[in-house]
Amino acid sequence: MVQVASQRSFGIDYAHDCFLKDGKPFRYISGSIHYSRVPRDYWKDRLLKMKMAGLDAIQTYVPWNFHEPEPGVYTFSGDRDLEHFLELAEEMGLLVILRAGPYICGEWDMGGLPAWLLEKESIVLRSSDPDYLAAVDRWMGVLLPKMKNHLYHNGGPIIMVQVENEYGSYFACDYDYLRYLQNLFRHHLGDEVVLFTTDGAVKTFLRCGTLQGLYATVDFGPGSNLTMAFLNQRKSEPKGPLVNSEFYTGWLDHWGTRHFTVPASVVAKSLSNILAHGASINMYMFIGGTNFGYWNGANMPYAAQPTSYDYDAPLSEAGDLTEKYFAIREVIGMYKELPKGPIPPTTPKFAYGEVALEKVGAVRDLLNDLSPSGPVKSTYPLTFVQLKQYFGFVLYRTKLPRNCTENTTLLTLFDGIHDRAYVSVNGVSQGVLSRSHVSKLNITGNAGAYLDLLVENMGRVNYGRYNNDFKGLVSNITLGGEILIEWEMYPLDIDKAVSQGLHNETVGDISNYEEPSFYTGSFSIPSGIPDLPQDTYIQFPGWTKGQIWINSFNLGRYWPASGPQVTLFVPSNILVSSSPNNITVLELEGSPCGTQKCLVEFVDRPNINASLHYESDFRKLFSRGFV
């Protein structure tokens, strides 16, 4: 019999250092899943696998920029249907710990904050800045009323709501901001719901991240000093339940560094120790999922995260059962009764094989499709935000002011390339400028020739003080010491152009395979085989770096030349069996098509751990970097 809402309650018993659910002592074992990183078609499968592992609850972030792409434009349908996700969790008998932001970190672009906030260049994010608070107030006025009906005491699954995220790691240390959020959340959600904070289990982080009235929890990974971590929580919360809100089952990756893994035995042992302490725990991540499209974040010193957010989690990026899943399930079974019934199996994968591609044209030949409203003209370069281009690419164009018959230095001032610029003169590739790595190139060309810099936003910084991350050419460019002026800037709406079909009406050099160019191909799902289409992975033999769309769905970035990720996960829901599946590839640096086979390949196994030759990693496990 369903319990009526009025009888349901969830709160904190400070006298007995525990949570109370419906008046009885309660300890939760939870796992993180981000609905924004898992296709809607797979929400049920992943949630059921989490339930069958013995979890009581799930924890999820709400990325503000996923739901408000432009000021006042809200989207909560399809893969963004948060309320449907909550209803599925409720159906499964899973409680929900909601991390409502406004900032989330989560290795997500700008930590979930919308890039359009940066239209006020001096804005101080995550502070009492009045323009920031006004935007937060409007957003929470949309989000939180939707969430109120899903609170536990109102008959829904949400037992706790997190305010902000790891605020103690941020430089602002603005208690007025936390107090403002506390009042805002109470105003929309009422006084019954448990509001909480999460910070690293270090005194300095807890000092600025906690506020009276918000229950302080901590996060730490396997191998940490458990006693010390909870002792630090006790300094902020002398009474109440012990909680690790982010127990790391793996760790995040960056392009150009090794894929991080944490052995199942290490995770299982630490998990058991925490549960033996009587603490509540959330495993971050239980399934990582995928940074589809342009959604990945970055850390400082600037390093972008790859498309895969596998995280070496108990469920793989594709939702596959792993050794770690069963090790964790076994530990949980020592502390509570596991649910009866079968565990949903790993979804089958299918290798569709090689698909031939052909070049449609270079970016510069397709500007009518890619930037139909034409260029924006300015004496000096404008940033992405000034162009209202929040993601993807902008082509910056000017003319060489003089003959550069000999190598002439093109230099970005103040590390002003955010984040990579693919440089060409009249279509002849000159090289790549990149943030924090390559600030100058030698170029050649005649006076009046087009100098093109195709600038890629590789993902905004999601952690630390530098998440006001402006993209594009954020400072001037010099050629032989002279500042270049009179720029034309083409914001590229590639998603729309791909969905409408690319048309090359110019007579460009189709045999130039080094400049940024589009390639297309198609494949059909084999007939006569039951249960197709199935999930698959795509790899890029001989390709360098770029972006891929399948049936107009922006799958994400590929960069096998850098690694560690070589294959991209392709969920079956974007494939069709009734007609050919269309593939569009934007290769930025150099395709194999002039010298090798011009193809991509669908395989049935992932490779996100390519053993390329990496220099020693400058980041350590469970540390997001220096900043």
* Enzyme catalytic residues: 166, 246
CB 405 within 8 A of CB 514: no
Q: How many alpha carbons fall within 13 Å on the CB side of residue 401?
A: 13
User: Please, what is the Cα angle at 358 between 551 and 433, to 5 degrees?
Assistant: 90
d(CA 250, CA 270): 13
What is the Cα 70 distance to its own chain's centre? 18
Q: How many residues does the chain have?
A: 627
CB 217 within 8 A of CB 161: no
What are the residues whose beta carbons fall under 8 Å from the beta carbon of 216, sequence distance 6 or more?
196, 197, 199, 206, 209, 210, 233, 236, 237
Tell me the Ramachandran region of residue 155: left when phi exceeds 0, alpha when psi lies from -120 to 50, beta otherwise.
Answer: left
What stretch of H or E contains 369? helix 367-370
d(CA 382, CA 389): 11
d(CA 369, CA 362): 12
CB 44 within 8 A of CB 116: no
Q: 245: closest CA among 236, 253, 255, 257?
A: 236
d(CA 359, CA 585): 9
Helix axes 264-276, 226-236, angle to 10 degrees: 50
Phi first, then psi: give them for residue 83, nearest 5 degrees.
-65, -35
d(CA 561, CA 19): 50
What does each C-alpha distance from 65 to 62, 82, 101, 103, 158 come to in angstroms? 9, 13, 11, 10, 22
Beta strands 158-162 and 194-200: pairing type? parallel
Beta strands 450-456 and 393-399: pairing type? antiparallel
From start to end of 72-114, where are the E strands? Answer: 95-99
User: Please, what is the Cα angle at 332 between 327 and 335, to 5 degrees?
Assistant: 140
- Look up residue 127 and give its amino acid: S
CB 593 within 8 A of CB 357: yes
Helix, coil or strand: residue 276: helix
